[in-house]
Amino acid sequence: MIVTIDGPAGSGKSTVARLLAERLGFRFLDSGALYRCVTLAAIERGVPLSDGAALGRLATGLRIAFGEGKTVLLDGVDVTTEIRSERVSTNVSEVASKAEVRSALTGLQRRCAEGADLVCEGRDMGTVIFPLADVKVYLDAAPQTRAERRRLELSARGEDVSVDVLVARMKERDRLDSSRETAPLRRADDQILVDTSGLTIDEVVDRLSGLVPPGR
Ligand code: DC
């Protein structure tokens, strides 16, 4: 059983998908963390973010692993906080737009579904990585709501950025993610649209778990 949850930044995907996986007892894949790891590695190693071939080679050679809870390990180092920093967030769209990077990460993502039920979240989970998934969801929310969520997330980590700046950055990231040639962010006809704007996290998780056939 594979449940895919796609949608833009701040739609609530990560939180909701993680809780849904817990509730169902499924494995969980945060695919954005993979693109964030490649971005962090590229920045730190001085790989030009415009060089798709070099980024693809870099991505192929990285060891990315998920540890306990939300922990993400990059070549054995805990990068959980670092991959969520604004320095990574503002550059990740460019890295994720490279076909070489996307293909380098495809096998890794598909292997997550081997021998386990899976809830995964990202931008192309239902369209490209798992087109035959059992349940496909597209989560969305108003830009203002999404920016406010992001502001709270950053401020909890001591990074203070205004909502206006975040709305602008979010729109720019949406534009880049939706207009890129390879695996653009888009809602496919077979994805169930859930707008999370006026909903609490629990309400969204309830709604999504209602979409998963019982007894699985
Ligand atoms: O979900 P997130 O904010 O952690 O994703 C970070 C970036 O990675 C986002 O700008 C788009 C990209 N991404 C992608 O292109 N495909 C995915 N499946 C997941 C994320």
Q: Report pLDDT digits (tens) over 56-102.
A: 999 999 999 998 888 999 999 999 999 998 899 989 999 999 999 99
| Contact yes or no for 72/64 (Cβ under 8 A) | yes
Say if residue 14's pLDDT is above 70. Answer: yes
pLDDT the model gives residue 65: 93
Report how far ligand 1's centroid is from the alpha carbon of 215 (Å). Answer: 31
In this structure, is residue 84 part of a structural domain? yes
pLDDT the model gives residue 101: 98
Determine how β-strand 135-140 pairs with β-strand 2-6: parallel
**What rounded mean pLDDT belongs to the chain?**
93
Count of structural domains within the chain = 1
In this structure, is residue 195 part of a structural domain? yes
Report how far ligand 1's centroid is from the alpha carbon of 116 (Å). Answer: 23
Domain that holds residue 141: 2-209
In this structure, is residue 153 part of a structural domain? yes
In this structure, is residue 171 part of a structural domain? yes
pLDDT the model gives residue 215: 66
Which residue minimizes the CA distance to atom 14 of ligand 1? 123
pLDDT the model gives residue 162: 94
| Ligand 1 residue neighbourhood (C-beta within 6 Å) | 9, 31-32, 35-36, 92-93, 96, 122-125, 173, 177
Say if residue 208's pLDDT is above 60. Answer: yes
Predicted TM-score (pTM) of this structure: 0.90
pLDDT tens-digit readout, 23-68: 999 999 999 999 999 999 999 999 999 999 999 999 999 999 998 8
Residue 210 C-beta-side C-alpha neighbours within 13 Å: 8
